[in-house]
A and B are shown apart, each in its own frame.
Chain A
Amino acid sequence: MIVTNIEVIPGKTVIKHLGIVNGNTVRAKHAGRDIMASFKNIFGGELKGYTELLQESREEALQRMIEQAQAIGANAVVNVRFSTSSIAAGAAELFAYGTAVVVE
């Protein structure tokens, strides 16, 4: 599965456009991490727990998007975009979408 965020795949020709596929997930870290993060807000610096949370969410959203693309017989997803929202405090919502295509 080729995933790009440009509209073409260099060196390959798109033979079929299959429409939009997407993947979303909402994840949270346990309360201990939330409390640690609120302490970290005093001193500044990277909130490792939340970085990890975003990374996990992003991977899961991409994975689900790819799963949808595979289900409709695509072998690449182009023009992928990420979008986030804030549904609940302390939770990350990641949403990935792109156009599923078949390349030769």
Chain B
Amino acid sequence: MNYENPEIPEGINVTPEHPLKEFAVLLVGVSTAIVVAVVALSLLAGYMVRFVPFAQEQALASRAGTLWQGVVLDEEAQSKQHYLQSLADRLSVHMALPEGMTITVHYVDEPTVNAMATLGGHVVIFQGLIDAVPSENALAMVMAHEIAHVQHRHPIVALGRGFAVALALSSLSGVGDGMMQQWLGSVGMVTSLSFSRAQEAESDLDALQALQQEYGHVGGAEAFFEYVMDGGHWLEPPALLSTHPGTEDRIERIRAFAREHPAVNPKLVPLPTGM
């Protein structure tokens, strides 16, 4: 009988692959898969959600409980809201809103330089925005942009997409741990944000067409964006993370539209006194 322990060569139980190489391959592969999945889900959810009747969306919006509910406007604010509503009504005539879709404008007396469109055709305009624009044309550009969001049903599409993406990412929660979730979440978020940038561009174009028909030209439309560029009061995150396309791109797009549709005598309409 013979007993011994010969030396066993190294490297049989481990795979000699450089960890950084594996890391790079996996990271690129998994990120690509997530981007593809989020894009596919977004498209699907966006497509499906268009079949929700607008009346249902309005019911959802009124039930959700919103910013303006219970706000009592004083006389001055009421007259401003009237003016904004009539501006919205004039613009929507040119925008071919689907049957049954109505735009409700809400005026908020706060210095925030912002405007937004939410579920149920509600458009919110802040006093800060009105202060920032030099003419009605510039205000109409922002207003028409928000109406275009409603027309394309972007608020509910965003809701549907957000829901689908969140559901998909949470179904992966069984795998990996905290930081995996974080990574998956950020990749998914960047993808869905770039999606909404396409929506912004689409809305800008529709808004310009409405302005062209309302005023006969699109002069003054870029004024608000120029204000943003110069003043910088607008809290603008870096282009990659912002839902709005780069301000420069938007001004460029407006100017390109103006070149294509030359106006004979572009005249700016001033804002009514008291605004």
Are chains A and B touching in the complex at the 8 Å CB cutoff? yes
CB distance from B46 to the nearest CB of A (A): 24
- Name the residue on A nearest B5 (C-beta): A19
Q: Are B175 and A18 in contact (CB-based, < 8 A)?
A: no
- Near A by CB (< 8 A), chain B positions 1-45 give 1-9, 12-13
Q: Check A90/B174 contact, CB under 8 A, given A23-B13, A67-B12, A71-B12.
A: yes
Q: Are A71 and B9 in contact (CB-based, < 8 A)?
A: yes
Q: Check A34/B4 contact, CB under 8 A, given A22-B13, A23-B12, A23-B13.
A: no
A35 contacts which chain B residues (CB < 8 A)? 171-172, 174
A25 contacts which chain B residues (CB < 8 A)? 13
Q: In the complex, which range does the number of interface residues on chain A fall in? A: 20 to 34
Q: In the complex, which range does the number of interface residues on chain B fall in? A: 10 to 19
Alpha-carbon distance A25/B1, docked complex (angstroms): 33
- Near A by CB (< 8 A), chain B positions 145-181 give 171-172, 174-175
Q: Check A19/B6 contact, CB under 8 A, given A64-B12, A64-B13.
A: yes
- Near B by CB (< 8 A), chain A positions 1-25 give 14-25
Question: A28-62: contact bitstring with B at CB < 8 Å (1 yes, 0 no)?
Answer: 00010011001000000000000000000000000
A17 contacts which chain B residues (CB < 8 A)? 1-4
B2 contacts which chain A residues (CB < 8 A)? 15-17
A-B contact pairs, 16 of them (CB 8 A): A14-B1, A15-B2, A16-B2, A16-B4, A17-B1, A17-B3, A17-B4, A18-B4, A19-B5, A19-B6, A22-B13, A34-B174, A67-B12, A71-B9, A72-B7, A72-B8
Interface residues of B, Cβ cutoff 8 Å to A: 1-9, 12-13, 171-172, 174-175
